Chain A
Amino acid sequence: MFGISKLADHTVLERIKQGDEKMLVYLYNKHYTMVKTFIMKNSGDDNVVDDILQDSVIAVWQNANKQDFLLQAKLSTYIMAIAKNLWFKELKKRSKFTLVDETNHLNVGSEEMKHSFDQSIIVEMVKQMDETCRKLLSYFYFDGFNNTIIAEKLGFANTDTVKSKKYQCFKKLQTEVLKQYKREDLL
């Protein structure tokens, strides 16, 4: 594809494991046309292509850092499979909502109301944290980086420092969250 230098799959995965966020853009650009074509042919529109592809690429980002991850097909095939699943899941969700609307309003938001608290408030709290804590917790819980990579990226002396710093940051966030919510809200 013109404009995008072609990288081998193993190179892309290796750079994802090293936390190179440019690979997200690379994967997004590389698979945009493919995903868009698929969604458009399956009752989709332009508005959802961006969300589906973003979620697909981020899923690859997360999975690539898992210890048991093993790519058994081409990376583009893998991304397309994720995009298809996400889109079919979205279609299923839409059909369910349509069915509910046509009958009555029972069970409204049963899946959406997962927590009794407003998650966005906590997200804002996370954003208010100092950058090191925020990155540390994000790298560990979302990206799945191991402590060695986190130590390298954040400039910690060793993995033990990462471990103790992580505990401190988490407790700090938990304290802030518990200030905002009661324990019962979080259960």
Chain B
Amino acid sequence: MEKTYHLIDDYLSGKLVGRKLDSFKAELKASEKLQEQVAIQQAIIETLEESRKAELKEYLAANVSKGGISYIPNLASALGAAAMISMLVAAYFIIDFVVDKRTDNIVKENTSKYPKRDTSIEDTKLLIDSLANDTQTLAISELPDVTNEIEPPSPPELEIVEEMEMDDVDLDFDEMVEEEVPVFKPEGKAAPATTDNVEVKSDVKLSSKTYVIRSLVPPQKEEAEVETVAKSKPKKNMESDDSVSETIVTTTEKAPLPNRSVNVEYWQSVVNYKGYNFDGKTLKLYGIAAAKKLEFKELDGRIYLKLDGNNFYIEKNGNYNRLVALTNPTLLNILND
């Protein structure tokens, strides 16, 4: 019985297919009892469907208001959405107002804070920075007091410039640059800090000493010849060498030049510069310890420095120079002798 019931169920629901369906149809055609059973089952199923449909309709009728749509929740949602939109719009205008006011205040503060901005001084600092690319020591050690040398333009002049039309302004950039560039005078003074934010380090003078420059007389031609002979025959006549030395010494002693003195200052560079600067009176030595032994000699109006066994030519030009050891053997012989 149960098997027949499920078979009829599948037949009525259309799930019965293929050979099973053919077999069932054949049996249905042959059996009146089966036809009756199918009819009864179909009628009950249709009734069940109607019953369930009525049940669902009752459920719908109970859960939806007359007219289908429950307007109260819709109204509440609409009001809520409208309130939220209103709040957002109000918040937008408030924020916009506050931001505008704040921006105006910032602009006012800026205009009142920098009405007399000293552009010349700022430009001069930039120029100094650019010059410092070549010799940092020069820029730092010889930075003049720009605040004294460059007078800031008065505010009315600035306003006039702003009001002038560009066509009327004859800009000569070369002249402008010449006017802007400060004239540096080497005074050995460190530049004072013009602003609190910029810390300018300067070279430090460690100590100073005064040395005597020993003057040397250049050897005569004959003596040079003798020296040449002595050099070519050093083993044969050792005494001749002594005689040459004696001759030079004698000559020096015979025509002595007045010894000069030179003031030597020992400096420590902020950029660890090693060299010298000689203006004829004072010799600034950078990166050389004061404890080292120095020996100055003058030959043909030129001053030579002997340091650590090496001889250096000290050029009198007021510039920063490096110490370059001499390699000319003749000159070295004269200086060492």
Q: Which A residues form the contact surface with B (CB < 8 A)?
A: 1-4, 21-22, 24-25, 28-29, 32-33, 36, 49-50, 53-54, 57-58, 61, 115, 117, 119, 122-123, 126-127, 134, 137-138, 141-143, 163-164, 167, 170-171, 173-174, 177-178, 183, 186-187
Contacts and interface: CB of A to CB of B under 8 A. Distances in A.
Contacts of A117: 43
A186 B54 contact: no
Q: Is the interface of B mostly helix, strand, loop or mixed?
A: helix
Contact of A167 (B2, B73, B81): B2
Given A138-B51, A141-B49, A187 B36 contact: yes
A143 B52 contact: yes
A36 B68 contact: yes
25 contacts: A2-B73, A3-B69, A3-B70, A3-B71, A3-B74, A3-B76, A24-B59, A24-B63, A29-B70, A32-B69, A50-B68, A54-B60, A58-B56, A117-B43, A122-B44, A123-B50, A127-B51, A134-B51, A138-B48, A138-B51, A138-B52, A142-B48, A171-B1, A187-B36, A187-B39
Given A3-B77, A54-B56, A57-B60, 20 more contacts: A2-B77, A2-B78, A2-B81, A3-B71, A3-B78, A21-B59, A29-B69, A29-B70, A54-B57, A58-B56, A122-B43, A123-B54, A137-B48, A142-B52, A142-B53, A167-B6, A170-B5, A178-B40, A186-B39, A187-B36
B55 interface: yes
B68 A28 contact: yes
Q: Is the interface of A mostly helix, strand, loop or mixed?
A: helix
Interface residues of B, number: 40
Contact of B44 (A1, A164, A173): A173
Contacts of A134: 51
